Structure 1
Amino acid sequence: MTQRILVVLDPDSDTPVATDTAIDIARQHDGEVTGLAFVDKDSIGTETAGGGIGSMYFAERLREQLTEETRQKAAALIDTFTTRVEAEGVRHSGDRVGEGALVKSLLDEMRTHDLLVAGRESHFYYADPDRRTHTLGKVLQDAAAATLIVGTARPTVRRVAVAYDGSGASARTMQKFAHLAPFGTDVDVEVVHVRGGSDADRLASERLREDAVTYLRAHGFERVTSTGIESSDPSERICELAQGDRADLVVSGAFAKSGFRKMIFGSSATKLLEESKVPLFLYH
């Protein structure tokens, strides 16, 4: 069950979707949500650094101005979040504006939450997509909670694709998804294993998928199927799953063996985050 849901609030178009998604999940599980907006002083300090001694005064004034402007925007985001959640009749607690080291603050909050919900365009006040991806990668690597990435439309999840390769990361992610069941258990689940083309690969794939199906059914998911896909590029096939033709949600381990290893770092991460048409449930 998903009892505590953390929502990262940004001044972007998909933050309202993240909020509404968190509300839907909380309502289904009788849980509660927490809104978190950031004043990233480290980023502001970097943006205002530079220049000689004569410019230090002006840099400090600019830093103070940017910090106050960001603090006001963050407070407004919290107010909007609170108003929306209360209008929907969902419990919320601990809504706050975080200041300081962004990644550390977020990881600290995730220790006492089951799930982080964030928009795909969430930049945590960063406009640089590469830095956004790097920040998300660091969060996924060390977070105690799972992360749900949503897009610009409120998701209706009826079909779930679980990318499973038998690694510890993919197993932990599948287990986390099964335990939280954020969209309930009344969904169609397809366990997808990307394998090689030999007879041994096919047999191993069948065993892996049978075990995964048994596990998910034991946790209340009754409509579970599995598919073995022959390919030499697992990350590419997972990106294809995220196009929405066969799933409304993709469940994938952030770190795993073979081609999944770079799913969150590097070009595969950028492609998955930017091109996915469905929400992504990610864990390590």
Structure 2
Amino acid sequence: MIKRILVALDPDGDTPVATRYAIRLAKKFDAELTGLAVVDVGNLNTMIGVGGYGTEYAAREVWVEMTEETQKVAQNLLNVFKKSVEKEGIRHRDLKQQGASAELIIEEMKYHDLLVLGRDSKFFYSEPDKDTRTLAKVVKGGVSPTLVVTDEYREIENIMIAFDGSSAAARSLKAFVHLLPYGKDIEIDLVNVADGESSEAMEKSASILKMAENYLKAHNFNYIIKTVLEKGEPGLRILDRQLMKNPDLLLLGAHSVSAVKRTAFGSTTHYLITSTMGPLFLSP
């Protein structure tokens, strides 16, 4: 059951779509929406820095100016959010907080059932295109499921579940089943990428999908097809299937990686987040 939804606000084209998805769910569940705008002073401090004796005052002046500008952007985002939800008669809270964006979003996730945000959100209002890796940090460090959207809105009638049997994939599957955001009558395309071309590898994949299907059917999801995809790069295989079937939503797990990798996602998750044409549902 969804009763509280958090919308992380950012000055990008995805945020109005995220708000629209959140409003749709709030109407369905009579839920409350929280719009969160963050004045990310942590990234401001890193960007400005202090070059040495005599520069501290100048740096402080720049910091004050950029913080004030960021405050204005944050307030404008909240104003737009408030106008959108009040037009639809949705109960809401508006929060403007100052600190590290990822940490503040994660803290608010503790008290919400679902986070909705845009795929291109960086949450650094002074430099909207700066890669802060906030999305990866939030999905991996949060305690609630996340709906990541693009700049296109869709009504959710059919979904694709990329299920490899891992704990991460199982957590996303269970979170989706327990929240039940789009009901039980949706069509589900349950897919797994085989580890090899042998009959044993294909049977293993089929067995993994069968167990996932049994779990879904136990929760009264009945419109399910299962597909074992041929061996290959998982991200490419899943994206090819997504492009062919055009599901309204893709569900997958958020995988951890070693510290030397560029993102906090596994390579498959990162590839799909950056390449997908539709929304994704993930759980930490």
Q: State how 1:201-216 maps to structure 2 within 5 Å.
A: 201-216=201-216
Question: Do structure 1's residue 12 and structure 2's residue 5 form an aligned pair?
Answer: no
Give the match's secondary structure for 2:102. helix
Cα shift readout 1:112-146 (whole Å, capped 9, x = no counterpart):
111111111111115456x34x3222222221111
Question: Do structure 1's residue 179 and structure 2's residue 189 form an aligned pair?
Answer: no
Q: State how 1:142-181 maps to structure 2 within 5 Å.
A: 142-181=141-180
Q: State the shift of 1:82 in Å.
A: 1.2
Q: State the shift of 1:167 in Å.
A: 1.1
Question: Do structure 1's residue 123 and structure 2's residue 122 form an aligned pair?
Answer: yes
- Structure 2 unaligned blocks of 5 or more: none
**CA RMSD of superposed structures (Å):** 2.2
Write the distance in 2 (CA, Å) between the matches of 1:87 and 1:244: 37
Query: Which amino acid in structure 2 is aligned with residue 44 of structure 1?
Result: L
Asked whether the 8 Å contact 2:140–2:254 carries over to 1, the reply is yes
Relative distance call for 1:256 and 1:265 in structure 2 (3 A) is: closer
Which TM-score applies when normalising by structure 1? 0.90
Question: Do structure 1's residue 58 and structure 2's residue 58 form an aligned pair?
Answer: yes
Give the match's secondary structure for 1:226. strand
Write the distance in 2 (CA, Å) between the matches of 1:104 and 1:90: 27
- Structure 1 unaligned blocks of 5 or more: none
Asked whether the 8 Å contact 1:38–1:74 carries over to 2, the reply is yes
Relative distance call for 1:112 and 1:242 in structure 2 (3 A) is: farther
Relative distance call for 1:75 and 1:242 in structure 2 (3 A) is: farther
Task: Report what 2:222 is aligned to.
Answer: 222
Give the match's secondary structure for 2:252. strand
Q: State the shift of 1:271 in Å.
A: 3.5
Give the match's secondary structure for 1:54. coil
Task: Report what 1:26 is aligned to.
Answer: 26
Task: Report what 1:107 is aligned to.
Answer: 106
Asked whether the 8 Å contact 1:249–1:278 carries over to 2, the reply is yes
Number of aligned residues: 278
Relative distance call for 1:29 and 1:80 in structure 2 (3 A) is: same
Give the match's secondary structure for 1:231. coil
Task: Report what 1:40 is aligned to.
Answer: 40
Relative distance call for 1:211 and 1:271 in structure 2 (3 A) is: closer
Q: State the shift of 1:181 in Å.
A: 2.1
Query: Which amino acid in structure 1 is aligned with residue 265 of structure 2?
Result: F
Q: State the shift of 1:104 in Å.
A: 1.5
Write the distance in 2 (CA, Å) between the matches of 1:262 and 1:61: 33
Cα shift readout 1:179-224 (whole Å, capped 9, x = no counterpart):
1122222211111111122111222222221221121122232211
Query: Which amino acid in structure 1 is aligned with residue 208 of structure 2?
Result: L
Asked whether the 8 Å contact 1:167–1:256 carries over to 2, the reply is no
Query: Which amino acid in structure 2 is aligned with residue 49 of structure 1?
Result: G
Write the distance in 1 (CA, Å) between the matches of 2:98 and 2:78: 14
Write the distance in 2 (CA, Å) between the matches of 1:136 and 1:219: 30
Task: Report what 2:79 is aligned to.
Answer: 79
Asked whether the 8 Å contact 2:35–2:95 carries over to 1, the reply is yes
Larger deviation, residues 73-82 vs 48-57? 48-57
Q: State the shift of 1:264 in Å.
A: 5.5
Write the distance in 1 (CA, Å) between the matches of 2:128 and 2:49: 18
Q: State the shift of 1:91 in Å.
A: 1.7
Task: Report what 1:97 is aligned to.
Answer: 96
Write the distance in 2 (CA, Å) between the matches of 1:58 and 1:146: 42
Query: Which amino acid in structure 2 is aligned with residue 19 of structure 1?
Result: T
Relative distance call for 1:45 and 1:244 in structure 2 (3 A) is: farther
Query: Which amino acid in structure 2 is aligned with residue 248 of structure 1?
Result: D
Task: Report what 1:189 is aligned to.
Answer: 188
Write the distance in 2 (CA, Å) between the matches of 1:101 and 1:22: 24
Query: Which amino acid in structure 2 is aligned with residue 101 of structure 1?
Result: A
